[in-house]
Structure formats: structure tokens, C-alpha cells
Structure 1
């Protein structure tokens, strides 16, 4: 657990957590904690049992805002994409008048990225800290969306150039990840809409228009993932069309080969019959002549097929 006093974006480490119980003359306190620290934090800051239970739960939490007497409990999901799987990490936030507590189970890049922004913007209030944090979390969805878009383009190119069975597993896996994430985006969008429209006493009224901008971005993200879902459907159709085209191509080659060998089989069938007299059977060099005829016949049919683009 790290305790910082933030004043105009400048951080000062605090050793004694009891100092955070009293509002600072200027600025606010940011407590960056793990779930194990809740045993210490809960009695000091009067955290509600249900909020603590949500932080400790192993189950995935939906983004939400819960309002208690002296603090807000906010859950928002951070996102990460490693080209194979999308990961969501719950970011639990307790917002008070003179403090903000962030609780995570894993270290999040968003919290590291936030520090220079707080310094640049000279942030002096916990609600403005909350705004910048939510803004970074939402912006990361755009970055993940761009990577998903690139992944879809690469899959499409690979399928058109060289279709493989493994492509179907990639399509199904990525489509499942997109559908799953789309279900999460709904509650997250509702959370941001609440921060934007609802009258919240711990959030400055001047932040409403800023949260409105974040809400517009959240709507764009949701629309983007609708598009990705449709693209994955088109990608699966392209895969199936490519497989069908390859099967038709193979069948055309086999059909042409069968057609070429039919007259050759007919000739060998005649000369393979068990009769005493067959024309040319006893002609000197007859077998060589017959093989030549068969080669000329096969090559001639192959040339005809090539000219007609059947092969």
C-alpha cells in the first residue's frame, strides 16, 4: 500500500495512514492499495461490507456506482489485449471528500500512466483524479480496438492467401472475446452516463461536461465493437467460401485427371483381355507404339483442358 498526498499534481509520500483521516489543508490523499490492505482500510474509512465483499470476490464484477453516506464505491474495468485473449481487470475506487482509494488485484498500467497527467494538470481534488483515471481507462479501449481491427485485417489477408484449418479456431476465439467484451461495455457505458448526468455531491458540477466527453467515447467504443462483431461474421463467411473454393478446385483437378485416364484405361482394358487375336498384339514394337499413342492422347487432352481453363 502506498499513501500519497497530492497537491497541484505534486506527490508526497505519507508513512502514517492515520494522517489521511483528517483533510489536508491543501490537496487530497491518494491511497493505492491491494485487496489484502482492506483489513486495515475498512475500519479507518468506514467502507461498507458489501463494497469490501465486491473487492474480495473472485467473480467478475460489473461496472457500477454505489453511493454511501460519506463515500462512493465505483467499479470500472481496465482492458488488455495480447493478440490471443482479452483480459479485463477490475479497478475498485472509493471516493471521499478528501481522499481517493484505488484497490486492484494486479498492477494496472492506467495508474502508472495517470501520474504525469496529474502533475501536468495540477490536480488538487479527488474527483478530478477520478475523471482523469476514468478517461485513461476508456481511452485504452480505443487502443485495444485498433489492435483488434489490425488482427481482423491480418486474418482476412491470411485466409485469402492461404486458408488453414487453424484460421477457423482463431475466428471463433476472437469472435467469442468480442461478444463477451460487448456485454461488459453496456454496464460500463451506463456507469459513465451516471457520472455524467446524476447529481453527485462528491463530484464537482463543472466535471459534468468532461464526463460527457468520456461518455461519448464510451458510446463510440460500443459501436466499434458492434462493427467488429459483424466483421468477424464476414470473416467466417470468407473462410467458408475459401474452403469451398479450394474443395471445388481439388475436385476439378481430380475430375480432369479421371477424364484424361478414362480413354487410357479403355485402351489398356482392351489389350488386357485374354483373347488370342487382338489387332496389333503381335506387331513388332506394338507395345511402344501403343504407349506412344496413349501419351499423345493424354497430353492432347491435357492441352485442351488448359486452353479451356478447366485446369
Structure 2
């Protein structure tokens, strides 16, 4: 657990958690905690049992905001994409008048990226801390969306160039990830809408207007992933069309080869009959002439098929 006094964007370490119970003369306290630290924090800050239970029992929580008498409990999901799978990391936030507590089970990149923003903006209140944190989380969805779009484009190019069976597995897997993520975006959008519109005494009225920009970005993200879902459907159709085209191409080759060998089989069939007199049967070197004629017929038909663009 790390305890800091944040004053005008500057950080001052605090050694004892008891020092954070009373409001500081200026600034606010930021407590960056792990799940194990809730045992100590709950009785000190009067955290609601249900909020603590949500932090401890659910790895992937549904985004929500719960208003209690002395604090708010907010859950938002940070996103990470490693080109194989989309991961959501629950970011639990307890917002009070003179403090903000962030509780995470895994490392959240946005918390590390937040420090220079707080310093640059000279943040001096916990509600502004919350605003910049939510803003970073939402902006990261755009970055992940760009990477997903790049992967879709590469997958489409690979399918058009050379279709593989593994491509179908990638399409199904990525589409499932996008559908799952799309279900999460709805509740998260509602949380941001609440921060924007609902009267919340722990958030400054003027600051609430800024949450409207974040809400617009959340709406754009939801629409973007809706587009990605449609693209994955188109990609699957392209995969199936490519497979069908490849199968037709193979059948064209086999049909052409069968057609080429039909006259050769006819010729060899004649000389396989049990007749005493067949033209050229006893002529010296006739077999070589016959083989040459068969090759000429085969190459001639191949040339005609290529000229007509049948091969």
C-alpha cells in the first residue's frame, strides 16, 4: 500500500495510514492499495461491506457506481490487448471528500500514466483525480481499438493472399472477444453518464461538465466496436468465399488434367485390345512415335486451355 499527499500535483509520501483520516490543510490523500489492504482500510474509512466484497470476490466486475453516505464506490475496467486476447482489469475506486483510494488486483498502466498528468494539471482535489483517471482509461480503449483494427486488416490481407484453416480459428476467437467486450462497454458508458448527469455532492458541479467529453468518447468506442463486430462477420464471409474459390480452382486443375489424359487413355486403350492386326504394331520404332504423338496431344490441349484461360 502506497500513501501519498497530493498537493497541486506534487506527491509527498505519508508513512502512517492514521494520518489520512483527517483532511489535510491543502490537497488530498491518494491511497494506492492491494486487495489485502482492504482489511486495514475498511474499518478506518467505513467502507461498505458489499463494496469490499465486490473487490475481493470478482476478478472481472461489471462497471458500476454506488453512492454511500461518506464515499462513492466506483468500478471501471481498464483494457489491455496482447494480440491474442483482450484482458480487462477491474479498477476499484473509493472516493471521499479528502481522499481517493484505488484498489487493484493487477497492475494498471493508467495509474502509472496518471502521475505526470496530475503534476501538469496541478490537481488539488480527489474528484479531479477521478476525472483524469477515467479519461486515461477511456482513451486507452481507442489505442486498443486501433490495434484490433490493424489486426483485422492484416487478417483480411492474409485471407485474400493465402487462406489457411487457422484463419477461421482467429476469426472466431477475435469475434468472441469483441462481442464479450461490447457487453462490458454498455455498463461502463452508464457509469460515465452518471458521473456526468447525476447530482453527486462529492464531485464539483463545474467538473461534471467535463465528464460529458469522456461520455462522448465512450459512445464512440461502443460504436467502433460495433463496427468491428460487423467487420468480423464480413471477414468470415471472405474466408468462406476464399475457400470456395480455392476449391473451385483445384477442381479446375483436376478437371483439366482429366480432360488432357482422356485422349491418351483412349490411344493406350486401343493398343491394349487383343487384335492380331493393329496399324504400326510391327513397325520398328512405332512405340516411340506413339509416345511422341501422345505428348504432342497432351501439350497441345494444355496450350489450348491456357490460351482460353481455363487454367
Same fold (TM over 0.5): yes
CA distance in 1: counterparts of 2:218 and 2:48, whole angstroms: 29
Instruction: Measure, in 1, the Cα distance between the counterparts of 2:215 and 2:231.
Output: 24
- Superposed CA deviations along residues 92-123 of structure 1, whole A, max 9, x for unmatched, are 00000000000000111100000000000000
d(CA) in 2 for partners of 1:276, 1:203: 109
Aligned: 1:194 with 2:194: yes
Deviation at 1:59, TM superposition (A): 4.6
In the other structure, the counterpart of 2:89 is 89
Q: Which stretch shows the higher mean deviation, 235-244 or 91-100?
A: 235-244
State how far apart, in whole Å, the 1-side matches of 2:283 and 2:110 are.
91
**Partner in structure 2 of residue 179 of structure 1:** 179
Which residue of 2 is the match for residue 249 of structure 1? 249
1:116 aligns with 2:112: no
| SS of alignment partner, residue 93 of structure 2 | strand
How many residue pairs match? The answer is 311
Is the 2:5–2:11 Cα contact (8 Å) retained in structure 1? yes
Q: Residue deviations 1:262-287, cap 9 Å, x none? A: 01001101101122222221111111
Q: Name the TM-score, length of structure 2 as normaliser.
A: 0.99
| Cα distance between partner residues in 2 of 1:295 and 1:3 | 87
- Greater shift after overlay, 189-198 or 154-163? 154-163
Structure 2 Cα separation of the partners of residues 59 and 153 of structure 1: 32
Secondary structure of the structure 2 residue equivalent to 1:163 = coil
Query: What is the aligned partner in structure 2 of residue 147 from structure 1?
Result: 147
2:254 aligned counterpart, secondary structure? helix
Q: What stretches of structure 1 of length at least 5 have no aligned partner? A: none
Superposed, 1:1-311 pairs within 5 Å as 1-311=1-311
Mapped partners of 2:274, 2:47: distance in 1: 100
Shift of 1:158: 0.8
Which SS does the other structure have where 2:193 is aligned? Answer: helix
| Unaligned segments of structure 2, at least 5 residues | none
- Is the 2:163–2:239 contact (alpha carbons within 8 Å) kept by the matching residues of 1? yes
Runs of 4+ more than 3 Å apart: none
Q: CA deviation at 1:177?
A: 0.5
2-side partners of 1:60 and 1:27: how far apart? 32
Provide the C-alpha distance between the structure 2 equivalents of 1:202 and 1:212, rounded to a whole number of angstroms: 17
CA distance in 2, matches of 1:279, 1:183: 80
Counterpart-to-counterpart distance in 1, 2:9 and 2:99: 14
Contact 2:62 2:187 in 1 (8 A): yes
Give, in whole Å, the separation in 1 of the partners of 2:232 and 2:280. 65
The range that moved more, 276-285 or 67-76, is: 276-285
